């Protein structure tokens, strides 16, 4: 299937590794022009160079912390300077805030909200006027299953994620007239650095003997009985940003191997 995005200009926040990097790669292979960002400039630069070599496409990297308003502006301004505008925004940069209520740390939760809720919203605020003007735009927000099905261990992420689901649906209604489509994906467990960082916490939460056992127990909750691969997420994200997804807006697609068992 030709996705119809050759030459489209895409920002993938947090594209230096994991799901963001796989998404940037897939955009490049489809002929889109891409800008990635991350806090670690060296890792972002290496990712940029490797992505450029693999795809022979145009890709730029910017150092930015998406919890900071000034850095978000820098990302969008650089995209405008290097790519000439923005057609696609994938709001991906972020971490996971795990732990039960008793362990809730207000500062950590504020950072989670600043990065994902405010970070995503501020990036949208900057790119939407361009998308409205050109009557074409795609925005995909990386959220997470705990926004739909509350999980005591994912309390902090869950609150952020529910707000992001609301933001996605609300903006899809407001931006529809301008042909700017706003969708979300909700990953389950995906095999990235983020899982490794959470492995010990999840082991304790599940009462597992080892991190590998925790991984097996977590995966068992999925119908597919395994973790996802970053490229499996990327395929769906890039499709939602494509011309072929022209009648899809306001959805939140579960990319979790069947972990959530409810009807949405
Ligand atoms: N993996 C999962 O199981 C899972 C499940 C549910 C939801 N998600 C969501 O999916 C998204 C991607 O996760 P992932 O698993 O691919 O994570 P990852 O492998 O840790 O990659 C995260 C990427 O985002 C960047 N990043 C993190 N915080 C940032 C910030 N404040 N400003 C700019 N860049 C930042 C990282 O680079 P730097 O560290 O250098 O900044 C990196 O490039 C996240 O929003 C996460 O919440 C993932």
Within a domain: 196: no
Integer Cα distance of 152 and 23 in angstroms: 30
Query: How many domains does the chain divide into?
Result: 1
The range of the structural domain enclosing residue 124 comes to 9-190+228-255
The pLDDT confidence band at residue 104, using thresholds 50, 70 and 90, is: confident
Is residue 255 within 8 Å of residue 186, measured between CB atoms?
Answer: yes
Q: DSSP assignment, residue 225?
A: -
In a domain, 146, yes or no: yes
Q: Is the pLDDT of residue 108 over 90?
A: yes
Identify whether 246 is part of a domain.
yes
How confident is the model at residue 19, as a pLDDT?
A: 98
- The arithmetic mean of pLDDT across residues 209-220, rounded, is 94
Distances (CA, A) of 211 to 77, 199, 216, 217: 42, 6, 9, 10
| Residue 213 in domain | no
For the ranges 30-39, 81-90, 152-161, 178-187, which has the lowest average pLDDT?
152-161
Task: Tell me: pLDDT of 250 over 90.
Answer: yes
| Inside any domain, residue 240 | yes
Evaluate whether residue 220 is within a structural domain. no
Whether residue 53 has pLDDT greater than 90:
yes
The CB-side HSE value for 111 (13 A sphere, CA atoms) comes to 11
pLDDT > 90 fraction of the chain, expressed in percent and rounded: 95
Half-sphere exposure of 175 (CA within 13 A, CB side): 29
DSSP assignment letter at 243? G
- Residue 97 pLDDT class (50, 70, 90 cuts): confident
Average pLDDT in the chain? 96
Residue 89 lies in a domain: yes
Residue 39 CB–ligand 1 contact under 6 Å: yes
Output the CA–CA distances (angstroms, integers) from residue 125 to 72, 76, 80, 133, 231, in the order listed.
Answer: 10, 10, 15, 13, 28
Tell me what the mean pLDDT of segment 36-49 comes to: 98
The answer, yes or no, to whether any atom of ligand 1 lies below 6 A from the CB of 185, is: no
Cα–ligand 1 centroid distance for 133 (angstroms): 30
| Residue 20 CB less than 6 A away from ligand 1 | yes
The H-or-E segment that residue 24 falls in is: helix 18-29
In a domain, 199, yes or no: no
Q: Is the CB of 146 inside a 6 Å radius of any atom of ligand 1?
A: no
pTM, two decimals, is: 0.98
Question: Is the Cβ–Cβ distance between 173 and 241 less than 8 Å?
Answer: no
| Sequence-ordered alpha helix ranges (H) in 40-192 | 41-55, 69-83, 106-112, 119-134, 155-175
pLDDT score of 16 more than 90:
yes
Report the residue among 50, 64, 93 best suited for mutation to probe ligand 1: largest number of ligand atoms under 8 A from its CB: 93
pLDDT exceeds 90 at position 255? yes
From the CA of 190, give the closest atom in ligand 1.
3
Decide whether any atom of ligand 1 lies within 6 Å of the 128 Cβ: no
CATH number of the domain within which 98 lies? 3.40.50.720
For residues 175 and 182, the answer to whether their CB atoms sit within 8 Å is yes
> Does residue 11 have a pLDDT over 90?
yes
> Exposed, middle or buried: residue 175 (CB in 10 Å: 0-12, 13-18, 19+)?
buried
92 lines ligand 1 (CB under 6 A): yes
Protein residue closest via CA to atom 42 of ligand 1:
14
Which ligand 1 atom sits nearest the alpha carbon of residue 43? 40
Cβ-proximal residues to 49 (8 Å cutoff; 6+ apart), any chain? none
Q: What is the pLDDT of residue 96?
A: 86
- Residue 141: phi, psi to the nearest 5? -105, 130
Say yes or no: CB of residue 194 within 6 Å of ligand 1.
yes
User: How confident is the model over 66-87, as a mean pLDDT?
Assistant: 98
């Amino acid at each position: 299937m030709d996705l119809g995005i050759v030459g489209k200009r895409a920002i993938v926040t947090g594209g230096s590794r994991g799901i963001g990097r796989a998404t940037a790669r897939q955009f490049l292979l489809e002929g889109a022009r891409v800008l990635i960002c991350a806090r670690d400039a060296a890792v972002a630069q290496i990712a940029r160079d490797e992505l450029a070599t693999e795809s022979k496409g145009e890709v730029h990297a910017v150092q930015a912390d998406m919890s900071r308003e000034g850095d978000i502006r820098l990302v969008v301004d650089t995209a405008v300077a290097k790519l000439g505008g923005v057609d696609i925004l994938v709001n991906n940069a972020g971490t996971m805030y795990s732990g039960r209520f008793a362990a809730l740390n207000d500062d950590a939760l504020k950072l989670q909200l600043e990065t994902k809720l405010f970070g995503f919203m501020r990036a949208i605020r900057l790119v939407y006027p361009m998308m409205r003007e050109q009557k074409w735009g795609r925005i995909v927000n990386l959220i997470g299953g705990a926004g739909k099905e509350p999980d005591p261990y994912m309390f902090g992420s869950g609150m952020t994620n529910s707000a992001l689901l609301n933001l996605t649906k609300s903006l899809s209604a407001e931006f529809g007239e301008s042909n700017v489509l706003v969708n979300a994906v909700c990953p389950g467990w995906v095999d990235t650095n983020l899982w490794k960082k959470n492995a010990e916490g999840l082991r304790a939460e599940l009462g597992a003997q080892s991190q590998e056992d925790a991984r097996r127990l977590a995966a068992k909750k999925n119908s597919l009985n395994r973790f996802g691969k970053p490229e499996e997420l990327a395929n769906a994200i890039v499709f939602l940003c494509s011309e072929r997804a022209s009648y899809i807006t306001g959805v939140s697609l579960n990319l979790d191997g069947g972990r959530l068992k409810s009807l949405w």
